[in-house]
Amino acid sequence: MDTLEDLETKISLLMINTEESFVLIDLNLNIVAFNDQFKNLYFKFFGKEVIKGESILDYARTDRLGLVKEIYQNVFDGKIQESEIQVPNPNGLVQTYFIRYKPAYNEKGNIIGAFVTTTDISERKNTEKKLIQNEERLRTIIDNEPECVKVVDKYGNLLDMNYAGLKMIEAENLEQVKNKNVIDLIHPLDKKIYLDTHKQACLGNKGIARFRIIGLKNRELWMEMHCVPLQNAEGKIYAALSVTRDITKQIKAEKEKEFERIDKEALINSTRDSMWSVSKDFKLIAANNAFVNALRNATGITIKPGDNLLLNEYFPDEFISFWEKQYRRTLKGESYNEEIYFPPMNGQSEQWLDVSFNPIYNEVELTGLACYGRDITQTKKNEQRLLQLNEEIKRKVEELAISNKELEQFAYIASHDLQEPLRMITSFLSQLEKKYKEKLDEKAQQYIYFAVDGANRMRKIISDLLEYSRVGRQNFKIAPVSLEELLEEIKILNQITIEEKKAEIQTKNLTTIVCSKTSILQVFQNLIGNAIKYHRENTIPKIEISAKETDFFWEIIVSDNGIGINPEYFEKIFVLFQRLHTKEEYSGTGIGLAICKKIIETHQGNIWVESEIGVGSKFHFTISKKLGTN
């Protein structure tokens, strides 16, 4: 049976070449055996020799006595105990020791003491501390990296990810996604792209891939991943390290640029106008469909970039010479437009093109020219047709002017010459009535009355016709005219009628305008006369005359409270002889408003009416301001 002495002998032989300090303790906590390392260690820190038979508690720090007793009690109960202590050495430096307590057994398996080994782990602790510090520093760098940094094992499980990555996938913390398969975050259409790249990294190859991710909150982002393999201490690849950046804005910009390119290309090729660019040696750089098709129709060949544009074998020499001249002119740096006529050739009909020539520059020099050709053949033909029509219209206008002049002269002469016979008829009828009145019966007197009345009305119609024919034929003298003064003249001329009917005439905002005074006086005379004539029974005629100015016209408004006009007659009242009432109801020939219309039109204006039956009417007429500027 092993005794403590036997154990001491065996252990002493084992511990001769070890760097660890060793001590054997009996159940009474007394020192049974120890090696030189233990002796030196304790002398180093406590300054005294270790003596067999003394209690181990004598070599423990006062503040650790309770803990040491507890540790030995656990060991004597069959438990292995371990602890680390930090002790300042005589130089003031703190050293760390690892102490291991193990039960000592005899051959029967009974615990007879404790083996205690002490190992200086200061250097390892310092190394670990530096590693931890470096790891923390690296972690800080990674976590502050704006791009996603992650570690994914060979099976696709997420082992680690920095803050930027967690933010991209909309995770609150690493624990939320750690050890979960990242393939669940990849867009369904891009899973294969990601898996192929990750697989290559796990086989030892670097890889780059673009794919979409779907975050935990369903946000879609485009990513670009750079992936490399990760090896363990044995050199085996166990995972892939990747740096992934968000390229959503870049992809969006690329798509917009591509869309813009396609859109521009579609737009350029959808136009019928020709667009092409030419190199300094007269070769085609690029062209749209319209240009390619035009040349194919003319030559039968399909031109492509790099082909010479001076197609001598297809066009006459003077035609080629002309285009070479235009190209050379532009290659000197000049921009210009040229209307070019193409005579019928190669089975094509004649054509006109409006061509724009512009030089093309890079950052250093002129490299070519760009041309834009618009087919203006139809425009030219229209211009020619328009010139012909203008000549025809001019001739027709001249013929019409002569005809109108003759017609006006005829109307004037006819109306003037009819006056005398009518006066004669009226005079003789009056004489007949006067001389034979007593001898004529009532029926004959009625006939004479009808004849005289008809003749008078005929004279009035002819007089109005004469007046109508004179409008535009008289000297049309324009000058500034005060409307206030003009209205005062009209009031004087119509004083008797105005007083008879007790008519009220008010003016508002009247101004001075440029017009033919006599003509405009006639317009006012007619409108005011109608307002008084067509007043409502048992109602005092009230007339308001106002004016306002626009950018191009003076507008005059004459309002009344008369019987009003049915809207269906608004246009009819300005036509010759269009009466709305019988001569028994209201006198007149139906020419007055037609004369007004003709006068206003000679003033480059318009006349119209607004009216309501039983309420009154508003006549508007305009006079152009241009009359005063000619």
- Block mean pLDDT (10 aa), the chain, length 630: 53 54 89 85 77 84 84 90 79 80 87 88 72 58 77 89 88 89 92 92 91 91 91 83 89 79 67 86 88 81 86 79 89 88 73 88 87 85 86 80 63 60 72 73 73 66 58 66 89 84 89 87 86 85 91 91 84 66 52 83 89 90 78
Q: CATH top-level class for 145-252?
A: alpha beta
Q: Cα-flanking dihedrals φ and ψ of residue 407, to 5°?
A: -65, -45
User: In the prediction, which pLDDT does 542 show?
Assistant: 92
pLDDT for 13 equals 44
Residue 1 pLDDT: 43
Burial class of residue 546 in the structure, from the number of CB atoms within 10 Å of its CB (0-12 exposed, 13-18 middle, 19+ buried): middle
Q: Which DSSP state fits 152?
A: E
Q: How many CB atoms lie within 10 A of CB 162?
A: 22
pTM, two decimals, is 0.35
Check if CATH label 3.30.450.20 holds for domain 274-375. yes
CA distance 218 to 192: 20
CATH number of 476-628: 3.30.565.10
DSSP state of 147: S
Burial readout 35-55 (b: 16 or more C-beta within 10 A, e: otherwise):
bebbeebbeebeeeebeeeee
- What is the pLDDT at residue 20? 80
Query: With contact defined as beta carbons under 8 Å apart, do 410 and 469 qualify?
Result: no
Q: Which CATH number is associated with domain 4-122?
A: 3.30.450.20
